[in-house]
């Protein structure tokens, strides 16, 4: 998978204001902790996640996605009349139909001649949307496109806590498959891609590789399909250890193809943004890929796993706060349940927008 005409103009993100600490979640699960004699601090110790955020009750994914795209357009100063496709790529959506992208497109007054649709690929929805837009640009179908997604974890968090406190059949072994749901956070991210002839950045998307190990499709699975509003009462079952092991193994196979497609060596990779799952997962991934962990920008400590928004949110924060110097070779390393792996390579030349995010800024010593 190689591109010659595709540039990434920018990443944007929005975060909820309400912060939920891991400590507070464990206190709400006190009954199951006491019944199963689980040690306090277990969740943060296993994942490295100190807190996550949730949207205000009643806010739909589409409503927030509109705001995130508006922020993206402001940061890049891009003419919306040239947008030829709008994709909504998060797990969460407003309704089963129509596509959430339709209401976002309408609110933004985008051109009526463009493509408008949703895609779903677990935690790789937004990255998968990037590939579809890049293909359209490379084929000459469109000049530019945006993929956006908003993940909302409030309903999953509340349903999981209720389940933990009321299901007396849970054991120390079976409870493991439920705890992964408490790592999920809320967030929103958007990416703008454009043909190089109208690009102001020259941030070339070189291409990348994909790899699927669908025999492991049952390692992380939600309930049957439901809409994404407040009435949703989802539960998820996740074999975290097996998913981590098999996901990293799939990533290792994909990474070799990624290096071949981009023409890079491991030493050519300057910075990375990966899907944000947990501390142990990140360490195993970078050990397996033989990449220095300091190349990666981590947000999981204070955002948790924000699904499809995780990787592009990390990129948005890292790039706009100075983690990526101009001229860097950037690798996007996406792993999602299914198991699917998507890896993309970018020659980053110019950042159009710099900011300090929520009191957090990047320095030589990391996030402060």
State the catalytic residue, choosing from 18, 40, 74, 97: 97
Cβ-contact 296, 323 below 8 angstroms? no
> Is 14 labeled as catalytic in the residue annotation?
no
Distance of CA 183 to the CA centre of its chain: 13
The helix or strand, by DSSP H or E, that contains position 359, with its residue range, turns out to be none
Two tokens, residue 95: 């309704």
Long-range CB contacts for residues 237-245, cutoff 8 Å, separation at least 24: 237/177, 237/178, 238/177, 238/180, 238/181, 238/337, 239/177, 240/176, 240/177, 240/179, 240/180, 240/278, 241/176, 242/216, 243/216, 243/219, 243/337, 243/339, 244/277, 244/278, 244/280, 244/281, 244/284
Residue 43 is encoded by which pair of tokens?
């969740």
- DSSP assigned state of 168: T
Give me the DSSP letters along 126-165: HHHHHHHHHHHHHHTS-SEEEEEEEE--HHHHHHHHHHHH
SS3 label, residue 31: helix
- Identify the CA nearest to 169 among candidates 289, 36, 23: 36
Which residue, chain included where needed, has tokens 């508006």? Answer: 70
Q: Are 344 and 205 in contact (CB under 8 A)?
A: yes
User: What DSSP designation does 39 have?
Assistant: P
Q: Would residue 74 show up in a list of annotated catalytic residues for this protein? A: no
How far, in Å, CA of 72 to CA of 325, rounded?
20
Catalytic residue (one of 123, 220, 254, 274):
123
- Dist. CA 306–CA 16, nearest whole Å: 11
188, 276, 302, 303, 310 from 185: Cα distances, Å: 10, 11, 9, 6, 9
Residues recognised as catalytic: 97, 123
């Amino acid at each position: 998978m190689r591109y010659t005409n595709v540039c990434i103009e920018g990443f944007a993100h929005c975060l909820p204001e309400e912060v939920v600490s891991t400590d507070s979640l464990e206190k709400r699960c006190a009954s199951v902790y006491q019944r199963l004699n689980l040690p306090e601090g277990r969740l943060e110790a296993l994942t490295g996640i100190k807190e996550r955020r949730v949207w205000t009750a009643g806010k739909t994914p589409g409503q927030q996605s509109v705001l995130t795209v508006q922020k993206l357009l402001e940061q890049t100063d891009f003419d919306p009349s040239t947008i030829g496709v709008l994709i909504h790529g998060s797990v969460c959506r407003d309704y089963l139909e129509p596509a959430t992208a339709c209401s976002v497109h309408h609110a933004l007054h985008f051109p009526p001649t463009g493509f408008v649709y949703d895609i779903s690929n677990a935690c790789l929805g937004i990255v998968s949307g990037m590939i579809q837009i890049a293909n359209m640009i490379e084929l000459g179908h469109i000049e530019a496109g945006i993929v956006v997604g908003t993940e909302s974890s409030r309903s999953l968090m509340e349903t999981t806590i209720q389940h933990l406190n009321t299901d007396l059949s849970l054991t120390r072994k079976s409870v493991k498959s439920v705890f992964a749901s408490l790592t999920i956070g809320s967030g929103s991210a958007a990416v703008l891609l454009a043909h190089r002839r109208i690009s102001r950045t020259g941030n070339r998307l070189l291409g990348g590789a994909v790899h699927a190990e669908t025999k492991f499709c049952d390692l992380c699975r939600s309930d049957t399909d439901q809409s994404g509003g407040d009435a949703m009462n989802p539960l998820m079952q996740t074999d975290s250890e097996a998913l981590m092991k098999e996901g990293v193994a799939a990533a290792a196979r994909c990474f070799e193809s990624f290096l071949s497609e981009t023409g890079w060596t491991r030493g050519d990779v300057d910075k990375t943004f990966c899907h944000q799952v947990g501390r142990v997962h990140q360490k195993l991934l970078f050990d397996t890929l033989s990449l220095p962990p300091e190349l990666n920008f981590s947000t999981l400590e204070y955002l948790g796993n924000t699904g499809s928004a995780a990787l592009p949110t990390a990129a948005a924060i890292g790039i706009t706060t100075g983690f990526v110097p101009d001229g860097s070779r950037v690798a996007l390393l996406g792993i999602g349940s299914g198991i699917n792996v998507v890896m993309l390579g970018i020659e980053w030349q110019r950042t159009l927008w710099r900011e300090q995010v929520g009191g957090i800024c990047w320095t030589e010593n990391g996030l402060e």
